[in-house]
Chain A
């Protein structure tokens, strides 16, 4: 080992063995003294003379210890520890400043860390499978449209055999399974997977085996259908029984055999879903009965397809290989010739993109809001740092005399800068620590807002901490400490030593540059705050407009109760009879005013459309829903002409349809509408019995789409699962047990009905806007608070420094109002300049928000003016207190204090 290195370790060791080394040193010296004494005795000295001579020669024991300790003492580290202790004492002595600084930083850090945790979990974290970088997601490309990620069965089956570039090609689809429990059927979150799914994942099962291509055969393997379950499901459903392999699960009233249990860390190919049951894709006709996507040919686009590349294959090569087989896949699909020709014309081709963090549909939805949010958080953190920097700067100015004295006593500038930096590093570390501690709370709240409740289709965001998060937090702390500490530390220690000591407290006769930095800091703070506030104002206004926009129906007090009827025995009139009884039952529930049914809940992202035409006219696409009697009254949709449906509108009574205003205008621009006919693409004839008001169907944003309503008795589905629409007066919670009981009595084999208030559906449908607006307002509030603290703190410090100057002014007859204005003006100028700059930047930056805004211009003068006025008011409020205090200074006391 090099001498220097071994000396370093020696010193490090000695730090922890001080006491023992001290003791040994004394013993060593004592031995030496003893030997000297013996030598003197031998030389003929008297006992006492020898004793004295030895003592004199060795000298003072304490001086010895000092000298030896210096050999092994660790100067740098010990000084550092002394500095840390000193800084802690200083911070402790000004608790107000410390608390404000820590809270400010913690606010910035927790917001940043929380958002980063979400970004990490949604966008950065790789799938927890071996060699995740080999995973790819397959896309369908066409000219001019966004890549599609939904595949039909024939496409997937042709690709499954592609083994030139892929080790495995697999497909999956998230689904809700009806599993038989003691109490009846229960909905369980699951996924249907193709044969090579688990082979591609390469994660060993905890128990048993995983599903193989043999399980993905039509009708299951010879021993019937198999399923793999999650560890969580194994524990909750089977109580963690060790003999779970081979046990049966009844899904959709058909027995499935449990063949394996997957460990907890495995979460499938979509990191935002945590399926409890993995069933083979070939079981779709059973699981989704009466629907059958598996045999839907090119009409059912239901699969997400991923693949694992061969180890040495690059993405480019995979893409080339996919492009080469695209046409043959298309031709082999068995699609209608017209459609194939159309696809070929649009340059249909297959492609692969990196899938190392799995496929999550929500990623495409949330990438932009998350990144925008991250930028807002970054702005807030920067604001917090600027604020702390100006506070420290002001504090440094107050400590000028102390620092100058220390320099005069021989401390080097580097030493003082180091000490001041340690102070800011400590502040940053404490603030970051607090922020990181708070972050999980914030990120849970954000994740809850993003995932939109606990519905069966809601997503799971794993925002738990990992090394990326800790690295991020550490980086934030480091950057923050440099940002907040360096300038003040350099400023506080520069300048002319003599000047500072002579002038002491009122050393303000320094050159103009000295005042420039703190002012620039304050100005950028105000500007940054204004940017955040105006952004928030835009988002909030847009949200309010979104809520105010006419939905076309009144959602307040309406709840949807979903009944899953598709797996029970009855259909046709018998099933309708059940719905009738449900209607009667629900009407008897407490607080219920009206009851009806609909098959599609508006704004719930479930859609149904079809093309219709007037006899001899052009085909038009309209959106469809099947609804029960009293539907329009229950939803408060105006009936403009004609009559609504009744229970006697059965299939036998001739097909009926009700059009909304937009659809009616499209089909029949002139003349009466009621009583006329439209024709569907199978030449079925419908009689229009009414025209109703436009109501939003797919999206809150934008005008209502043309829509048609058919009676539930004429719903084309064999066993329609309908939502009861119930308008209640008062709380809806009692409906939960009530409807559950009702379903158990009338249709014992269906799962418990799911209740969802209409308000909740609407909130979810605009969850991105809601989240952005709520966060924007939150950040704006924080930045206003931080700015106020900064302006107040800095002005208080600078005013405190001028106490005797102001005292003298007052003693010489300056009026107190003038004094107040003089102090107030200091901030007012900064605020005006800062607002101007902020406004300019805000206007140029706000275009980023355009895609989140609804009917709101990014340059709306009223909104920008309101934001500016708010900021100026807050800033004035923060400046008035120090100004008032300055005007109350007692001249006698101020001068005497000098």
Chain B
């Protein structure tokens, strides 16, 4: 019943985006804006996360028990919703990054073959 809806997810595949979100949150609890900014920054401005894909991804991950959310104070002292990895989420991130490593290696082999 998870809707696979990629209309607005930009250039990122949905699964990949979720993996990146989990990775962003592995450093500690963050609000949505910080997650987007972090990915943007760490990818050397190559990946731009659309809000239209980010928030559905966050909510979906929360719904599936990979994230917890609670309200807290942001760095400029405003109320913001902070997401935090659950134990399930950490496991998921491990599995996803292994899968990604295999996949990207395989893609690299294919692309480098002559």
Residues of A bordering B, CB below 8 Å: 1, 3-4, 6-7, 10-11, 24, 27-29, 31-32, 34-36, 38, 57-59, 64, 67-68, 70-72, 75-76
B27 is an interface residue with CB less than 8 A from chain A: no
Given contacts A1-B65, A35-B33, contact A7 B2 (CB under 8 A): yes
**Which of chain B's residues 36-94 have a Cβ closer than 8 Å to chain A?**
51-52, 55-56, 59-60, 62-66, 71, 74, 76, 78-81, 88
The 8 A-B pairs with the shortest beta carbon distances in the complex, nearest first, are: A6-B65, A3-B64, A10-B63, A35-B33, A71-B59, A28-B81, A7-B63, A31-B80
Indicate which residue in B63, B76, B78, B79 contacts A71 across the interface (CB closer than 8 Å). B63
Q: List the A side residues contacting B8 at CB < 8 Å.
A: 67
Contact B56 A31 (CB under 8 A): no
Q: Contact at A32–B33, with CB atoms within 8 Å?
A: yes
- In the complex the two chains form, is B64's CB within 8 Å of A58's CB? no
* Cross-chain contact of A58 among B2, B51, B56, B60 (Cβ < 8 A): B51
A34 partner, pick from B1, B52, B59, B78, beta carbons under 8 A: B78
CA distance A120 to B49 in the complex (A): 67
Q: Which of B1, B60, B66, B79 contacts A31 (CB 8 A)?
A: B79
A2 and chain B: residue at smallest CB distance: B65
| Chain A residue nearest to B92 in the complex (CB) | A3
Any chain A CB within 8 A of the CB of B32?
yes
Contact B51 A76, beta carbon cutoff 8 Å: no
- Taking a contact as CB atoms under 8 Å apart, the answer to whether B59 and A75 are in contact is no
Cα distance A70–B55 when bound, in Å? 12
Q: Tell me which residues across on chain B come within 8 A of A4, comparing CB atoms.
A: 64
> Please, how many angstroms separate the alpha-carbon atoms of A811 and B80 in the complex?
77
A76 to B1, alpha carbons, bound, how many Å?
Answer: 9
Residue among A34, A57, A59, A67 with max Cβ neighbours from chain B (10 Å) = A67
Nearest B residue to A74 by beta-carbon distance?
A: B1
B71 to chain A: closest residue by CB? A24
B74-A31 in contact (CB<8A): yes
- B60 near A71 with CB under 8 A, answer yes
Chain A residues whose CB sits within 8 angstroms of the CB of B32 once the complex forms: 28, 31-32
Q: Which residue of A lies closest to B2 (CB)?
A: A7
Q: Which residues of A contact B5 (CB under 8 A)?
A: 70
Contacts A31-B78, A31-B80, A31-B81; A7 near B1 (Cβ below 8 A): yes
CB-based contact B59/A68 at 8 Å: yes
Q: How far is the CB of A398 from chain B (nearest CB, A)?
A: 35
Q: Please, which residue of chain A has its CB at the minimum distance from the CB of B78? A: A31
Q: Cβ of B31 < 8 Å from any Cβ of A?
A: yes
A806 to B82, alpha carbons, bound, how many Å? 72
Q: Given the complex of chains A and B, what is the CA–CA distance between A28 and B35 in angstroms?
A: 13
Cβ–Cβ < 8 Å partners of B31 in chain A = 28, 31
Measured CB to CB, the nearest residue on chain B to A11 is: B63
Q: Looking at the complex, which one of B59, B65, B81 makes contact with A72 (CB distance below 8 Å)?
A: B59
Binding site for A on B (CB under 8 A): 1-3, 5, 8, 31-33, 51-52, 55-56, 59-60, 62-66, 71, 74, 76, 78-81, 88
Chain B residue with minimal CB distance to A76?
Answer: B1
Contacting residues, chain B, for A67 (C-beta < 8 A): 8, 52, 55-56
- Do B64 and A32 touch (CB < 8 A)? no
Could you write out 13 A-B pairs with CB less than 8 Å apart? A4-B64, A7-B2, A7-B63, A24-B71, A24-B81, A28-B55, A31-B33, A31-B78, A67-B52, A68-B56, A70-B5, A70-B56, A72-B63
Can you add 13 more A-B contacts, CB < 8 Å, to A3-B64, A10-B64?
A: A1-B88, A4-B64, A6-B63, A28-B31, A31-B32, A31-B78, A32-B33, A34-B78, A67-B56, A68-B59, A70-B3, A71-B60, A71-B63
CB-CB < 8 A to B62: which residues of A?
10
Min C-beta distance of A193 to chain B, whole Å? 63
Measured CB to CB, the nearest residue on chain B to A28 is B81
Contact B65 A27 (CB under 8 A): no
Report the separation of the CA atoms of residues A75 and B63 in the bound assembly, to the nearest whole angstrom: 15
A59 to B64, Cβ gap below 8 A?
no
Closest residue on chain B to residue A36 by CB atoms: B33
B55 adjacent to A29 (CB under 8 Å): yes
Given contacts A7-B2, A31-B78, contact A57 B51 (CB under 8 A): yes
The answer to whether A71 touches B1 (Cβ under 8 A) is: no
Which B residues lie within 8 Å of A76 (CB)?
1
Question: Whole-angstrom distance between the alpha carbons of A3 and B92 in the complex?
Answer: 10
Q: Is the CB of A32 within 8 A of B51?
A: yes
Instruction: With a 10 A CB-CB cut-off, give which of A3, A34, A59 has the most chain B CB atoms.
Output: A3
Q: Which of chain B's residues has its CB closest to A31's CB? A: B80
Which residues from A are CB-within-8-Å of B76? 38
Contact among A6, A29, A75 with B64 in the assembled complex (CB-CB below 8 Å): A6
Q: How far is the CB of B105 from chain A (nearest CB, A)?
A: 26
- Within 8 Å CB of B2, what residues of A? 7
Specify the chain B residue showing the minimal Cβ separation from A71.
B59
- CB contacts (< 8 Å) of A27 on chain B: these are 79, 81
Q: How far apart sit A1 and B88, CA to CA, in the bound complex (Å)?
A: 9
Contact residue among A3, A28, A59, A71 (Cβ-Cβ distance under 8 Å from B65): A3
Query: How close is A605's CB to chain B, nearest CB, in angstroms?
Result: 68
**A3 contacts across to B, CB distance below 8 A:** 64-66, 88
Shortest Cβ distance from A11 into chain B, in angstroms? 7
Cβ–Cβ contact B1 & A75, under 8 A = yes
A598 CA to B72 CA in the complex, in Å? Answer: 96
- The closest CB in chain A to the CB of B1 belongs to A75
The CA-CA distance from A76 to B3 in the complex, in Å, is: 13
Residue of A whose beta carbon sits closest to that of B50: A57
Q: How far is the CB of B18 from chain A (nearest CB, A)?
A: 11
- Known contacts: A7-B63, A11-B63, A35-B33. The answer to whether A68 contacts B78 by CB under 8 A is no
Cβ–Cβ contact A7 & B64, under 8 A: yes
- Output the least CB separation between B17 and chain A (Å): 14
> B61 CB to closest chain A CB, in angstroms?
9
Taking the closest CB of chain B, its distance from the CB of A73, in whole angstroms, is 9
**A59 surroundings in chain B (CB, below 8 A):** 52
* A68–B76 CA distance with the chains assembled, in angstroms: 26
The CA of A204 and the CA of B55, in the complex, are separated in Å by 65
**For the complex, what is the distance from the CA of A32 to the CA of B32, rounded to whole Å?**
7
Write the nearest CB–CB distance from B4 to chain A, whole angstroms: 12
Least Cβ–Cβ distance between B54 and chain A, in angstroms: 9
Neighbouring B residues of A28 by C-beta, 8 Å:
31-32, 55, 80-81
A1–B92 CA distance with the chains assembled, in angstroms: 13
Q: With the chains together, A64 CA to B52 CA distance in Å?
A: 7
Closest A residue to B65 using CB positions: A6
In the bound complex, residues from chain B placing their C-beta under 8 Å from that of A38 are 76
Q: How far is the CA of A67 from the CA of B56 in the complex (A)?
A: 7
Least CB distance from A826 to B in Å reads 48
List, in ascending order, chain A residues with CB within 8 A of B55's CB. 28-29, 64, 67-68
CA distance A27 to B31 in the complex (A): 12
Q: Which residues of A contact B63 (CB under 8 A)?
A: 6-7, 10-11, 71-72
Q: Give Cα A7–Cα B1 distance, bound, in whole angstroms.
A: 9
**Chain B residues whose C-beta falls within 8 Å of the C-beta of A29 in the assembled complex:** 51, 55
Cα distance, A58 to B62, chains bound together (Å):
21
Least Cβ distance of A688 to chain B in Å? 95
Contacts of A34 in B (CB 8 A): 78
Q: Give A63's nearest chain B residue, CB to CB.
A: B52
Contacts of A11 in B (CB 8 A): 1, 63
| B residues in contact with A7, CB < 8 Å | 1-2, 63-65
For residue A4, which residue of chain B has the nearest CB?
Answer: B64
CB of B84 to closest CB in A, whole Å? 15
B86 to chain A minimum Cβ distance, whole angstroms, is: 10
